[in-house]
Amino acid sequence: MALEIKDTLLAQVRSTGIKPSRVLEVGGVAGPKSLLTGPETASADKFVLNIAEVKTQPGVTNVLANANDMPFADASFDLVMSVSTLEHDKHFWLSLAEMKRVLRPG
């Protein structure tokens, strides 16, 4: 199921024709389920934010932090993605507000 969601999400990114230069996966994991492993993000600076230590992926910066209070500047990412994370977040609305805050307009 998670891989189907990943494929659908990355197809939507592909359909925009935009090549993001800086991407963030909130609650990401290393390996084939990572949203950062597709050609859509191949040339981007990649970040994974997680509340717990996660396995490191080559070319990805792991950030140990709470999604309710992200340590990033406003409008600092071209693409912010998350799958199978918000249902585990007691204060998911704060994480959504943070995702919107760090996403560049447009």
CA 71/CA 25 separation, integer angstroms: 14
Strand, helix or coil for residue 11 = helix
CA 98/CA 94 separation, integer angstroms: 6
CA 53/CA 65 separation, integer angstroms: 9
Name residues whose C-beta falls within 8 Å of residue 1's C-beta, 6 or more positions apart in sequence.
none
Could you give the percent of the chain with pLDDT greater than 70?
97
Q: What is the pLDDT of residue 17?
A: 78
The string of pLDDT tens digits covering residues 41-92 is 888 899 999 998 888 788 899 999 999 999 999 999 999 998 888 888 899 9
How many other CB atoms sit within 10 Å of the CB of residue 51? 15
Q: Considering just the CA atoms, what is the radius of gyration of the chain in Å?
A: 13
The string of pLDDT tens digits covering residues 2-12 is 567 777 877 77
Q: What is the pLDDT of residue 8?
A: 80
From the list 82, 21, 20, 78, the residue with the least C-alpha distance to 48 is 82
